[in-house]
Amino acid sequence: MSPAKLVIALTKGRILDEVLPLLEQAGVTPQEDIRNSRKLLFDSNLPNVRLMVIRGSDVPTYVELGSADIGIAGKDMILEYGSQGFYEPLDLKLARCRLMTAAAVGARLDGPRLRVASKFVNIAKRFFAEQGRQVDIIKLNGALELAPLMGLADCIVDIVDTGKTLKAHGLESRDWIADVSTRVIVNRAAMKIKHAEVQALLQRLQQAVERQQVV
């Protein structure tokens, strides 16, 4: 019997640059230069594996709805998507950072109703609801650091890595929300129906992650 076909949805951008070498170690290489192509769908060296390159925020959608069997995306995108509709069997330990709240250095955030700017609106809503705080969420798509500076919001929910971006804008991190790294997610039906192929790939990726940790 020929192996089941697998579609892997990859996150474009920085994550792709880090994931491609790991995939290569796991035995999967795109048939053409995936980083410098306008195409979105690629054949790989394996006749049964195809690769899609999409925005990280769309990876969970494709995987949950089954148009991709496997997805590779940041934990921030998975948390923002918010569904439990797929498995998350593997942490690739790449692109590690934290989701934090941040505000102007020394600013008091004890007003009755906080204005929170973020591109992670679902994460922000959940976090402040768990804190029992009334907040107004303001959706932005980037450059979040400007929001407190320009008086648009009292605080932001954003990715923090080195903390340099916050510092450069007179901001400081406040509450930790989650650790973020690149994760592998798997469609629930594919995990059963394409078990052998999915498990083989997960195992090879796991070995590649372990080798990477040792280096």
Q: Rule CB under 6 A: choose which of 162, 213, 214, 215 binds ligand PRP.
A: 162
Q: Which of 45, 90, 107, 70 is nearest to 194 (CA)?
A: 70
Tell me the one-letter amino acid at 167. K
Contact status, residue 148 vs residue 155, Cβ threshold 8 Å: yes
Tell me the one-letter amino acid at 122. N
Q: Does 159 bind ligand PRP (CB under 6 A)?
A: yes
How far is the CA of 146 from the CAs of 139, 161, 169, 170, in angstroms? Answer: 13, 17, 8, 10
Tell me the one-letter amino acid at 202. L
Of the pair 164, 192, the CB lying nearest ligand PRP is at 164
Q: Does 163 bind ligand PRP (CB under 6 A)?
A: yes
Q: Does 152 bind ligand PRP (CB under 6 A)?
A: no
Of the pair 90, 100, the CB lying nearest ligand PRP is at 100
Q: Minimal distance in Å, beta carbon 214 to ligand PRP?
A: 25
Q: Does 36 bind ligand PRP (CB under 6 A)?
A: no
CA distance linking residue 169 with residue 172, whole number of Å: 9
Of the pair 106, 142, the CB lying nearest ligand PRP is at 142
Q: Rule CB under 6 A: choose which of 33, 38, 111, 164 binds ligand PRP.
A: 164
Q: Does 142 bind ligand PRP (CB under 6 A)?
A: yes
Of 4-12, 28-36, 155-163, 190-198, the window that binds ligand PRP (rule: CB under 6 A) is 155-163
Q: Does 160 bind ligand PRP (CB under 6 A)?
A: yes
Q: Does 161 bind ligand PRP (CB under 6 A)?
A: yes
Q: Which two tokens stand for residue 13?
A: 């951008």
Q: Does 84 bind ligand PRP (CB under 6 A)?
A: no
Of the pair 55, 113, the CB lying nearest ligand PRP is at 55
Of 2-10, 69-77, 120-128, 153-161, the window that binds ligand PRP (rule: CB under 6 A) is 153-161
Binding interface with ligand PRP (CB under 6 A): 142, 158-165
